[in-house]
Amino acid sequence: MVTPVLETKLADFPVRRGKVRDIYDLDEQLLLVSTDRISAFDWVLPTGIPDKGRVLTQFSVFWFGHLDVPNHMLTTDLAEVDLPADTDLGMLEGRSMLVRKANVVPIECVVRGYLDGSGWREYQQTGEVCGIQLPTGLQQGAQLEQPIFTPATKEETGHDINISFERMVEIVGKETSEELRQRSLDLYASGSQYAREKGKQRGLTPSPLSFDKARIGDLVPGEYSLIFSCDTMSMTEEELSWA
C-alpha cells in the first residue's frame, strides 16, 4: 500500500508549510512541493490521499500551458534544481515545482459560474455573494446568468474570508483589483469553454483559471507584469465541477 506524503524534509532550506504545500526558500526561487495533505473547508485533515500532490502538480502544469498566461513556474524537472546530493528525490518527484519569487497579493481570486459552496451559504443568509445581489429563489448548484468574481482573503491558517470587490480595492488598490478581476473572468471563460468541450461544467474555480494567490512581480527587467497563481491552477480540493 502506498503511504501518503504528509510532510517533506529538505534540511538545508528554510520551509513554510501551508495547508497543502511545503514551500522551500532557495534564495532567488522557491520550491513548491504539493504534499498529499487534504484541505477541506480550510481545515487540514489528519489523513492524506496517496499521490494527490502529484496529481495537483500535473493539473497546474497542464493549465499553465493550456491557458498560456504569465505565471511563476520555471520547471518541474528536479535535475534543474540545485538540491543537496543526499536529497530523497523519490519523495519530491512529480510533486515539485521551481518558481520565481514575487510579492504576494493576499487575495484569493474566485470566479463562480454556479451557486454552491461558501457562495451558496452566503446567498441563503443575505441573498448576495461578496456584495453582489443575486436573483431570489435560486437553488443550490444553480447556474448564474453570468459568472461572478467573488474575492476572498487568503489566510495561511484557518478560514479564508469572502469579501466584496470594494473591500478588495481597499486592500490592494483599484488598478490591481480591476486587472485581477478581469483576468480572473477571462481565465474562467477560457477554462469553462475547454471543460464544456470535454463534457464538464466548471462551477467554482479558486485558482487560475482563477488564482490561489495572485502575485505581482517583474517577469522581465523593466517590465512590470501580473503573475498569476503562486501555488496552483485548478485546485482539486476546492474546484467544483460536474460531468
209 and 133, same domain (yes or no):
yes
Number of Cα atoms under 13 Å in the Cβ half of residue 81: 28
Summarised one tens digit per residue, pLDDT across range 182-238 is 888 888 888 888 877 877 655 444 443 333 333 333 333 333 344 455 455 554 444
Using CA atoms, how far residue 129 sits from 72, 112, 114, 168, 207, in Å, is 30, 10, 11, 14, 18
Confidence of residue 143 (pLDDT cuts 50, 70, 90): confident
Looking at 101, 120, 137, the residue that finishes a domain is: 101
93 and 156, same domain (yes or no):
no
Provide the domain count of the chain.
2
User: Is 35 contained in some domain?
Assistant: yes
145 and 73, same domain (yes or no):
no
Closest-CA residue to 74 (of 52, 102, 49, 51): 102
User: Is 10 contained in some domain?
Assistant: no
152 and 82, same domain (yes or no):
no
* Residue 50 backbone dihedrals phi, psi, to 5 degrees: -55, 130
112 and 85, same domain (yes or no):
no
Measured distance CA(185)–CA(193) in Å, rounded: 12
Confidence of residue 126 (pLDDT cuts 50, 70, 90): very high
- Domain carrying residue 169: 104-242
67 and 177, same domain (yes or no):
no
153 and 40, same domain (yes or no):
no
Q: What is the CATH number of the domain that holds 64?
A: 3.30.200.20
C-alpha cell at 197: 468541450
231 and 116, same domain (yes or no):
yes
The pLDDT, as a whole number, for residue 110 is 85
Alpha-carbon Rg for the chain, nearest whole angstrom, is: 18
Measured distance CA(234)–CA(243) in Å, rounded: 16
Looking at 101, 136, 153, the residue that finishes a domain is: 101
Looking at 44, 71, 101, the residue that finishes a domain is: 101
Summarised one tens digit per residue, pLDDT across range 173-189 is 998 899 889 888 888 88
Measured distance CA(20)–CA(38) in Å, rounded: 7
Q: What is the pTM of this model?
A: 0.77
C-beta separation of 67 from 187 below 8 A = yes
Measured distance CA(76)–CA(242) in Å, rounded: 29
Higher pLDDT, 158 or 174: 174
Q: What is the mean pLDDT of residues 50-62?
A: 91
The pLDDT, as a whole number, for residue 218 is 35
User: Is 1 contained in some domain?
Assistant: no
48 and 92, same domain (yes or no):
yes
Q: What is the CATH number of the domain that holds 160?
A: 3.30.470.20
DSSP string, 54-112: HHHHHHHHHHHHHHT----EEE--GGGS---TT--HHHHTTSEEEEE--EEE-EEB-EE
66 and 121, same domain (yes or no):
no
Closest-CA residue to 214 (of 240, 184, 190): 184
The pLDDT, as a whole number, for residue 202 is 52
Using CA atoms, how far residue 233 sits from 16, 57, 213, in Å, is 20, 9, 10
